Structure 1
Amino acid sequence: MVTQTRFEEEVNAFLSFQKGQKLPVLGEMFPCPVLYFPERLLAIHLISLEKTSLLSPDTFVKLSDVLAAEGIKVIHLWEDVWHSKKEVVQSRLRAAFGISQRIPARLTKVRRIDKPTLERFMDVHHLQVSTNAKFKYGLFLPKNYQRILKDDSPATLFLTQQMTIQGEALVAVASFSGGKNILREGKTFRSFELIRFANHLDCTVVGGLDKLLKAFVTELQPDDIMTYADRDWSDGRSYERLGFERMEATPPHTFWVNPDTWERYYAERLLSEKMGLHWVKVYNSGNWKFLKKMI
Structure 2
Amino acid sequence: MPVPSSPIITQSFSEQVCKWLNKMHLRYEINLETAFATHIEIRNDNGRLLSLVLVNLEDWQKSGSPDNWQLEFCDLINRRKTGEKSVLIWEDYWLTEPQVVKSRISAMLGISQKIAARLTQVRRIDQETASHFLEKNHLNASVSAKTRFGLFLPKRYFRILKSDFECDRESEELLVAVATFSAPRVFAREDGPFRSFELLRFASLLGTNISGGLDKLLMAFVREKNPDDIMTYADREWSEGAGYEKIGFERISETQPMQFYLSSEDMTRTAKSSLGAIAICNAGSIKFVKTYKLPD
- The bucket for the TM-score relative to the shorter chain is 0.7 to 0.9
Contact 1:41 1:71 in 2 (8 A): no
Contact 1:58 1:285 in 2 (8 A): no
Which runs of structure 2 are paired with 1:31-180 in the superposition (5 Å)? Answer: 31-37=36-42, 39-52=47-60, 53-56=63-66, 57-152=69-164, 156-160=165-169, 164-165=170-171, 167-180=172-185
Q: Tell me how far 1:59 sits from its aligned partner.
A: 4.2
Amino acid at match of 2:19: A
Find the residue that maps to 2:232 and give its secondary structure.
strand
Match of 1:212 among 212, 217, 224: 217
Q: Provide the residue aligned with 2:275 in structure 1.
A: 276
Q: Tell me how far 1:69 sits from its aligned partner.
A: 2.6
CA-to-partner distance for each residue in 1:125-151, whole Å, 9 max, x for gaps? 110021111110000111111111101
Structure 1 gap ranges (5+): none
CA-to-partner distance for each residue in 1:262-292, whole Å, 9 max, x for gaps? 2222x2xx3x5xx222x21111101111010
Contact 2:149 2:179 in 1 (8 A): yes
Amino acid at match of 1:158: C
Distance 1:104 1:187 in 2: 39
Find the residue that maps to 2:27 and give its secondary structure.
coil
Distance 1:233 1:178 in 2: 27
CA-to-partner distance for each residue in 1:160-208, whole Å, 9 max, x for gaps? 2xxx24x111110000111112479998531111110000000111110
Contact 2:36 2:56 in 1 (8 A): no
Question: Cα 1:217–1:228, aligned 2, differ >3 Å: closer, same or farther?
Answer: same
Contact 1:60 1:284 in 2 (8 A): no
Larger proportion of helix: 1
Distance 2:190 2:209 in 1: 37
Q: Tell me how far 1:159 sits from its aligned partner.
A: 4.3
Q: Tell me how far 1:157 sits from its aligned partner.
A: 2.5
CA-to-partner distance for each residue in 1:52-106, whole Å, 9 max, x for gaps? 2324253453122221232112111111000000111111112121111111111
Distance 1:172 1:11 in 2: 26
Structure 1 segments (4+ residues) deviating >4 Å: 183-188
Q: Provide the residue aligned with 2:200 in structure 1.
A: 195
The TM-score with structure 2 as length reference comes to: 0.86
Contact 1:226 1:292 in 2 (8 A): yes
Q: Tell me how far 1:8 sits from its aligned partner.
A: 1.1
Distance 1:148 1:69 in 2: 36
Does 2:265 correspond to 1:260?
A: yes
Match of 1:285 among 275, 280, 283: 283
Q: Tell me how far 1:43 sits from its aligned partner.
A: 1.1
Find the residue that maps to 1:20 and give its secondary structure.
strand
Amino acid at match of 1:11: V
Amino acid at match of 1:96: M
Distance 1:91 1:185 in 2: 47
Question: Cα 1:180–1:107, aligned 2, differ >3 Å: closer, same or farther?
Answer: same
Amino acid at match of 1:282: I
CA-to-partner distance for each residue in 1:194-229, whole Å, 9 max, x for gaps? 110000000111110010000001111111110001
Contact 1:258 1:264 in 2 (8 A): yes
Find the residue that maps to 1:33 and give its secondary structure.
strand
More relative contact order, 1 or 2 (CA 8 Å, 6+ apart): 1
Distance 1:248 1:129 in 2: 24
After TM superposition, the structure 1 stretch with the greater mean CA deviation from structure 2, 110-119 or 44-53, is 44-53
Amino acid at match of 1:276: L
Does 2:19 correspond to 1:13?
A: yes
Find the residue that maps to 2:141 and give its secondary structure.
coil
Give the number of aligned pairs: 275
Find the residue that maps to 2:37 and give its secondary structure.
coil
Distance 2:278 2:49 in 1: 31
